Each structure stands twice: as structure tokens, then as C-alpha cells.
Amino acid sequence: RGKSGDLPPRPECAPTWHDKVLMLLPNIELTLLIGQYAQAYYLRGAAKGSLTETVRSWADYGPGWLPLPHPSPRNTFWLKKNLWFEQEVIPHLQQRVAPLLVRP
């Protein structure tokens, strides 16, 4: 834990484990990129200048990726400041996830 939130993941974690885990999950249809570290790692150069800009541009990342803010009590201010998130992104997330949850 850092001064203003979580510390970044250790640099060896994603390169060591992500590909191994993802190979065991061949039918992924939606990846939730939760927080700035996940967004920076997976979106690379396509991530915007800030978490807010990246999340606000959620539709630019196609049907397979959805950037989201970290679900932390520390983000209450961010959620109040960015009302578009609850009005636009949450309904889209619910619509995308619902059919995936009922598949056999």
C-alpha cells in the first residue's frame, strides 16, 4: 500500500503469470481492466492520458475490453465527480455481463 492507494503490481508478476493463466481460459469474451495498472498493461499505447480519459473512452476498446476504475472506497469522490460512469458505463457493463453469466 502506498501513500495514495495501492502500490503497482510487482513488475515480474504479469509477464510470469498472465499468459499461463490465460491459456487455461480459452473462451474469454470480456476482460474487465480494473484500475490504471491493468489498463496500462493491456491497452499499452491505446490507453489515454489518465484513468478517467481511458474509462470515458470505454467504447473505443471494442467488445472484448472494458476499462473500469478500481472499486475502492477511495474512489467515492471520483464516482461523484464522474456521473457519466454510472449513467453510461454501468448499464453497458450490466448488458454485456448478463448473457455471459447464463451460458452453460
Question: Which class is 28-101 in CATH?
Answer: alpha beta
Give mean pLDDT, residues 81-92.
97
Mean pLDDT of the chain: 92
Any bridge partners for residue 5, and if so which?
2
pLDDT digits (tens, 9 = 90+) for 31-82: 999 999 999 999 999 999 999 999 999 999 989 999 999 888 888 999 999 9
Distances (CA, A) of 81 to 16, 52, 63: 37, 10, 26
The residue extents of the domains of the chain are 28-101
pLDDT at 68: 97
CA angle in degrees (0–180, nearest 5) for 11-15-17: 110
* Nearest residue to 72 via CA among 41, 34, 37, 42: 34
Confidence class of residue 104 from pLDDT cuts 50, 70 and 90? confident
Quote the cell numbers at residue 67: 476499462
